[in-house]
Amino acid sequence: MTALSPPRTYRVKSFGCQMNVYDGERMAELLSQQGISPAPDGEAADLVVLNTCHIRERAAEKVYSDIGRITKEWGRNDGTAPLIAVAGCVAQAEGEEIMKRAPAVSMVVGPQAYHRLPGMIAEAMGGGRPVDTDMPAETKFDVLPARRKVGPSAFLTVQEGCDKFCTYCVVPYTRGAEISRPFSDLVAEAERLVDAGAREITLLGQNVNAWRDADGRGLEKLIEVLAAIPSLARIRYTTSHPNDMTDGLIAAHRDIGKLMPFLHLPVQAGNDRVLKAMNRSHSVASYLAILDRVRAVRPDIALSGDFIVGFPGETDAEFEDTIRLVEAVGYSQCFSFKYSARPGTPAATMDGQIPPEVMDERLQRLQTALNIGQLAFNQASVGKRCTVLVERKGKLPGQWLGKSPWLQSVHFFGEAAIGDLVEVELLDAGGNSLAGQLLHPAHA
Ligand code: SAH
Ligand code: SF4
Ligand code: F3S
């Protein structure tokens, strides 16, 4: 391989969860700091970072089809193929295999090592094909450049990794053990995000409510301190695990006005035998008891969750328990997935793998039940007045799109700007959004 000229433009494409999106933003900032510019939409880029997700087979395989397409479509300005970096959880899980399977790939970097990208790019330009899937002791957060420009709603990763080892899940392998970032670093990063334009911060972690600092302070303490930042209007957190839902965090939903009334608390299934086989370490009853406690302190809280249908051995009757749970809870929005066997996880070799057509049917039934619940939740909001954080322009002239406190999409017409918090009356509800009327065009 001959030496390549240095990349002048980049594109980062993120495929995964919100933490993966956050990593993508940090990689983009790092590349910009190195003097490489973001490629304009639709134009060729000299360096393409595929920030991959390994959670389900479809997501993981997508990277290989993308590599083929990019090599063809996104050639460099001088006609040569772009440098391709594979980052994210597929990089962590498959490392060297990617290099063997996809000769067009120039470097592979895991989610804990991407602060080393500049050195890897230099190596790739010299003809090398570096692979870095270390989980180094030094943290990337100490090395990455400070946040500069963000939208009104920003992500902040506070916790990484997972110690729960649900039997279907790759995250403990791709992201490593649970670690919490230090309190003072997080407050400093939140302040910078607010200075850079954020009005809302969503605290992120694979198990965000497992966040603890060295003094044993829990997530509610961090939320309390962040709530004192004057121009920060809203705080959210995701994803939580039922076992880490402490009294202190529940009380924060009563005591901290800036903490939004929304809780994403995945249950995965509505049957105790299935939950046990999943190694979820909560039961249906203990999960429902948490929801009761949260609702007691914050009756209007919007609830959300994740579901897996067709876990190995799941019977029709066990699946029906999931439908019953959904109908009992009244979720505002949820994610639901067909079980996908992941290499190296215990569930992949369990007896009773469910045929695809049964999974399809179950997913369809579950999604119908979830959609009915979501529409009912939205319809119950009609007539309410609430603040909306304006995130972007709508499709129609003069229309704006934003989020209600309950994370519903709301569209309205009138005088507003991105980043405003406006007062809106909710007039009409669909399954995925609500129409609102601007009450007074307040520039907050
Ligand atoms: N830490 C979070 C979620 C992590 S992954 C939690 O425990 O809730 C996001 C979601 O992907 C999971 O909640 C689960 O519903 C889904 N998921 C994970 N592994 C999966 C698999 N092998 N097949 C299908 N869905 C899966
Ligand atoms: Fe995966 Fe379970 Fe950990 Fe969530 S708690 S990341 S589903 S192992
Ligand atoms: Fe996917 Fe990794 Fe997130 S596997 S869901 S990108 S933690």
User: What is the chain's alpha carbon radius of gyration, rounded to the nearest angstrom?
Assistant: 23
Residue 54 Cβ contacting ligand 2 at under 6 Å: no
Residue 171 Cβ contacting ligand 3 at under 6 Å: yes
Mean of the per-residue pLDDT values for the chain?
Answer: 94
**Cβ pair 244, 216 in contact under 8 A:** no
Question: What's the per-residue H, E or C state across 194-214?
Answer: HHCCCCEEEEECCCHHHCECC
pLDDT of residue 136: 80
Residue 19 Cβ contacting ligand 3 at under 6 Å: yes
> Within 10 Å of residue 422's Cβ, how many Cβ atoms?
25
**Residue 442: is its pLDDT beyond 70?**
no
Domain residue extents for the chain:
9-132, 146-260, 297-381, 385-441
- DSSP letter at 142 equals G
Beta bridge partners of 413: 399
Q: How far apart are CA 399 and CA 409, in angstroms?
A: 13
pLDDT digit string (tens) for 241-267?
Answer: 999 999 999 999 999 999 999 999 999
pLDDT digit string (tens) for 20-45?
Answer: 999 999 999 999 999 999 999 888 89
**Residue 138: is its pLDDT beyond 90?**
no
Mutate to test the pocket of ligand 2, among 163, 204, 206 (most ligand atoms within 8 A of CB): 206
Nearest CA residue ID for atom 1, ligand 3: 53
Residue 12 Cβ contacting ligand 2 at under 6 Å: no
Nearest CA residue ID for atom 3, ligand 3: 17
- How far is ligand 3, taken at its centre, from the CA of residue 217, in Å? 27
Say which range, 3-12, 115-124, 375-384, has the weakest mean pLDDT. 3-12
Question: What number does CATH give the domain 385-441?
Answer: 2.40.50.140
- How far is ligand 3, taken at its centre, from the CA of residue 21, in Å? 10
**Residue 74: is its pLDDT beyond 70?**
no
Say which range, 122-126, 136-140, 302-306, has the weakest mean pLDDT. 136-140
- How far is ligand 1, taken at its centre, from the CA of residue 210, in Å? 17
- How far is ligand 3, taken at its centre, from the CA of residue 62, in Å? 14
Q: Tell me which fold the domain 9-132 belongs to.
A: Rossmann fold (3.40.50)
**Residue 71: is its pLDDT beyond 90?**
no
Same fold, 146-260 and 385-441: no
Mutate to test the pocket of ligand 2, among 55, 56, 163, 165 (most ligand atoms within 8 A of CB): 165
**Residue 379: is its pLDDT beyond 60?**
yes
Minimum-distance ligand 1 atom for the alpha carbon of 207: 1
pLDDT of residue 24: 97
- How far is ligand 1, taken at its centre, from the CA of residue 80, in Å? 39
Residue 165 Cβ contacting ligand 2 at under 6 Å: yes
The whole model's pTM is what? 0.94
Residue 92 Cβ contacting ligand 3 at under 6 Å: no
Q: What is the mean pLDDT of residues 369-384?
A: 97
Residue 269 Cβ contacting ligand 2 at under 6 Å: no
**Cβ pair 388, 412 in contact under 8 A:** yes
Q: Which ligand is nearest to the CA of 164?
A: 2
pLDDT digit string (tens) for 152-189?
Answer: 999 999 999 999 999 999 999 999 999 999 999 999 99
Right CATH for 297-381 from 3.40.50.300, 1.20.1250.20, 3.60.15.10, 3.30.750.200 = 3.30.750.200
Question: What number does CATH give the domain 146-260?
Answer: 3.30.750.210
- DSSP letter at 6 equals P
- Long-range CB pairs of 128-131 (<8 Å, 24+ gap) are 129/99, 129/105, 131/95, 131/96, 131/99, 131/107
Nearest CA residue ID for atom 13, ligand 1: 306
**Residue 149: is its pLDDT beyond 60?**
yes
pLDDT digit string (tens) for 319-376?
Answer: 999 999 999 999 999 999 999 999 999 999 999 999 999 999 999 999 999 999 999 9
